[in-house]
Amino acid sequence: MSMLAVVAVAIVGLLFLAIVPLLSGSEQSGRTQTSADAAALAGAQDVREYVLDQLHSVFTVGGWNSFGTLIGPARGYGAAQSYASANDAELITYSYDPSRDRFSVRTRLLAEAPNGDRAESLATASLGVKLGTCGIGRHTTVVGYEEEPTPEPPPDPPADPDPDESAPPTSSPTPTQTPTPVPILGFEYRFTCDGFDSGWSLEISDLLDDTADWLDDQLVPSLVE
């Protein structure tokens, strides 16, 4: 019996030595995946807040202003880095593609596994809107015409000549020319995005309010499998 007990204890010890590294590796894998997920979502949330905050500051000088240019691929990096650090990891890579609506990150745990490695994980998030396809356009349009000046009244006709005198021939009055209307120019604005078109509007403030409401509903950070 004593021999069986020794063998049993040895088997248990071997199993323990084999299982502990596996459990440690699994735990590290879970932690680094959490850090990657949090970093990707943080980057997406940062872009959402930036777009909604800066929307009313977008000015167009004609043509088309793309959100892809406004945002850039590094937007959200600081937020992603902070969340990776809060989960005891470091941010190895970060990229945001506004045209594909993808936030891609890779994180690595700061703590080493028993074998000396540090676990790494990838995560991808989206916002729900391909902001690289979005933008505000502006063009010139006629919004009215200047008021026509009031024509000068014709001069009084000369007094009748002495009937004993021969009257000079009268000339035909010069016809009054119709003035050419002078147009008043203004701007029309339009916001378009994949799935949304505001149409042209003279009121930029109203257009931006409607656009902000739509973006507020559509921009929802989520993980992509």
Let me know: does 190 contact 198? Beta carbons within 8 Å. Answer: yes
Tens of pLDDT, residue by residue over 133-152, are 888 888 888 878 888 777 66
Tens of pLDDT, residue by residue over 84-119, are 999 999 999 999 999 999 999 999 999 887 777 889
Distance CA 206, CA 191 (A): 11
**Is the pTM higher than 0.85?**
no
Distance CA 4, CA 10 (A): 10
Mean pLDDT of 72-81: 91
Of the segments 4-13, 36-45, 116-125, 169-178, which one has the largest average pLDDT value?
Answer: 36-45
Q: What is the pLDDT of residue 178?
A: 74
Percent of all residues in the chain with a pLDDT value above 90, rounded to a whole number: 35
3-state secondary structure of 179: coil
Handedness of CA 4, 9, 13, 16 (dihedral sign): positive
Let me know: does 141 contact 201? Beta carbons within 8 Å. Answer: no
Q: Is the pLDDT higher at 170 or at 82?
A: 82
Task: Examine the pLDDT at 158 and tell me if it is beyond 80.
Answer: no
Backbone angles phi, psi at 133, to 5 degrees: -90, -5
Q: Is the pLDDT higher at 206 or at 56?
A: 206
